[in-house]
Chain A
Amino acid sequence: MSAFFTGVWVILTLELRQRVRTVSWYVLIGVFIGLIAIVTIVLSVALRGFEVDNSGGAGVYSTIIYFVLLLGTLVAPALSGNAINGDRDAGTLATTQVTLITTWELIIGKFLAAWVTALAFLAAAVPFLIYASIVGRLGGGAIAVSLLILAVELGVVAAIGVGLSGLVSRPLFSVVLSYLAVAALSIGTLIAFTLGGLAVQSEVTNTSSYGVSYNDSGEAISCSPRQTTRYPTPRFDLFWGVLAANPYVVLADAVPSTYDSNGYPTDLFGQVKFGIRSAQITPETEVEYDECADGPPESSPTAREVIDTTTPGWFVGLVIHLLLAAGALTGAWARTRTPASRLSRGSRIA
């Protein structure tokens, strides 16, 4: 087993020296730090106006985490999407494969290198995260969970990139496919959720009568005739599971929320979580309301109540992501192992 880790370590360090540690990569990190700095400053100033319970820092923190996830998922495919087929093009894959490095050592080493590279972006954002967590007085749990989920999600993207680079023979094509995979998870799930909810609509029958005159204590004493209206309502409750596979939703759903005095989430994660959890609630198709009989309209539940009474789905999304990552890496292994039995059309092994 130690031979396996030695092999992985050799590939990991080789990959980092050969592929990553270049001037352009340092420039990229510099640009990234610059962007984070701008976002942090602008948000700190802008959110001061909305500050309730001194929660502006929590908003800044969650926004920076989302920003790291966004940039990480934008950069990781470019760095990992040609890890294997790029080597084949450069003529360095086969010379590695004739050594005692096994195919799994090669693939795991390349995956770890891609992951470490993506995590460097997270590391670069740490000073800003520390600032935001101090200002926002964040709980240790929220910080730990958000960092952990972010790190795992970056790993998933790295694994998909490396996996596709082993499955597809042309580097350009595999990089594009990696981007499409990231886009499918980040934006595609959102589109599928929205379209699905709009396509399947249920008709709501609403029978209501409202108060016309009130007594001194504000109770309705005479009401309008019952009026029946029918209207369609989208059924997002049938499609919320699609959103569970969205990395931004997974992140938001997993992080424990903090609320202000009105039961409203203080950070971006909580607001996203409120949105996705609200979509779980099945709309009532028969609404009957008589103000004279039922009393004044109930106030709608707070975000906190909605979140506390609905199902968390982040672990389902996380499991889906981990299965995708494992599947991509296993597929790459099957296509890369030697002695090769099958070669894709028109490809050279060396």
Chain B
Amino acid sequence: MRNLAPVKPPRSTKLGAMTVAQLVSGGIVVDHVRRSFGSVHAVRDASFTAMPGTVTGLIGPNGSGKTTLMLMLASLLQPEGGSIRIAGFDPMDATAEVRSRMGWMPDVLGSWANLSVRSTLEYTARMYGMDLPAASARAGELVSIVDLAELASSPTRVLSRGQKQRLSLARALVHNPEVLLLDEPASGLDPGARTHLRVLVRRLAAEGKTILVSSHVLAELDEMADGVVYIDGGVTASADVVARSRASARPWRIRSSNIEALRASLISVGITDAEITTDRKDLLVPLSGEDAAATLLVSLIRSGVVISAFAPAVGDLEHTFLDLSSSGDLT
């Protein structure tokens, strides 16, 4: 296991009057934040909380306001209303405090093309106020944490997309931040690197960091995230709506060597023929919740049908996401 050495927060940080919100929670607290660009309301009403030690997914279709929200959290964009707390600080009033505690991995993969991987990390560390020896030590640690040790001396312009992705993650980790904002960290990674990323993210969360991950790869988040924030049309879904969507009927995939016997059995336990859809060699049946699925499986096996597969046709997140997107009303 590689060691993520803690780095002291660089430069002196002045603590202003601490509010109650700062005392009770680190992590990320977003409360009714909105932001528009001219007539385009990119984020209309976003509220959520991400606690230290957890990984929170941020899910939404393209153009839903994910990146705008991320930019506001990353202290790059002013919200027009509402409030944001990153590790207890407001990015507007206490920008330096937030920046010394927050790491941001953007969805755009930019790098200083002529600099080596190691120099890139050294320069980033120095931008956080570390002196030269500390910066170069930290760069040495990070190249091995993100598996770029062999490429440490290569200029970043020769890196592949996935390697740049890992460099970008290393850059976000340079100052050992309390809060990590990862915008599409898994895109462009091969399966091995994804697993590596997942393990790394889980480990960082176990160290007590607050991690917000936006992604399109829902299955990926399913395995990684403790909680999920859904955003569509600039509005985050409330907990009630998410719970309702999770409970709504979703298709389950049932596979049998004798598909007609399976169909007959399904009809005999009360599922109408119209509800059953055929997908290649499988049948898809809408079921609401795990309990209904368990009951159905028991009755099918009792009826003597041979079953080789019985599972949800879509992942938890994908199901909720699709259900929310189609209902179009998140509040």
Decide: A100 and B129 in contact? CB cutoff 8 A. yes
Decide: B129 and A18 in contact? CB cutoff 8 A. no
Decide: B37 and A95 in contact? CB cutoff 8 A. no
Q: Which 8 A-B pairs have the closest CB atoms?
A: A91-B110, A99-B127, A91-B108, A92-B110, A339-B78, A18-B112, A341-B78, A338-B76
Is B227 part of the contact surface with A, judged by Cβ < 8 Å? no
Closest to A11 in B: B127
Is A349 part of the contact surface with B, judged by Cβ < 8 Å? yes
- For chain A, the bracket of interface size reads 20 to 34
Contact partner of A18 (CB less than 8 A), chosen from B114, B124, B128, B171, is: B114
Decide: B11 and A349 in contact? CB cutoff 8 A. no
Is B200 part of the contact surface with A, judged by Cβ < 8 Å? no
Given contacts A18-B115, A100-B11, A100-B129, contact A349 B71 (CB under 8 A): yes
Is B53 part of the contact surface with A, judged by Cβ < 8 Å? no
> Please, how many angstroms separate the alpha-carbon atoms of A275 and B103 in the complex?
61
> What 0/1 readout, one digit per residue, does chain A (13-29) give for beta carbons within 8 Å of chain B?
01001110110000000
Decide: A339 and B91 in contact? CB cutoff 8 A. yes
Distance from A18 Cβ to chain B, minimum over Cβ atoms (Å): 5
Given contacts A10-B126, A100-B96, A100-B99, contact A340 B110 (CB under 8 A): no
Is A234 part of the contact surface with B, judged by Cβ < 8 Å? no
- For chain B, the bracket of interface size reads 35 or more
Is A52 part of the contact surface with B, judged by Cβ < 8 Å? no
> What 0/1 readout, one digit per residue, does chain B (111-145) give for beta carbons within 8 Å of chain A?
11111000100011011110000000000000000
> Please, how many angstroms separate the alpha-carbon atoms of A30 and B111 in the complex?
29
Contact partner of B92 (CB less than 8 A), chosen from A7, A95, A339, is: A339
Which of A17, A97, A99: most chain B CB closer than 10 A? A99
Given contacts A91-B109, A98-B104, A345-B38, contact A17 B75 (CB under 8 A): no
Decide: A340 and B99 in contact? CB cutoff 8 A. no
| Chain B contacts for A101, CB-based, 8 A | 127
Q: List 27 A-B contacts (CB under 8 A).
A: A6-B129, A7-B127, A10-B123, A10-B126, A14-B123, A17-B112, A17-B115, A17-B119, A18-B113, A18-B114, A91-B106, A91-B109, A92-B110, A94-B74, A95-B168, A99-B128, A100-B100, A338-B76, A338-B95, A339-B91, A340-B76, A343-B77, A345-B38, A348-B108, A349-B76, A349-B77, A350-B76
Within 8 A of B (CB), among A327-350: 338-341, 343, 345, 348-350
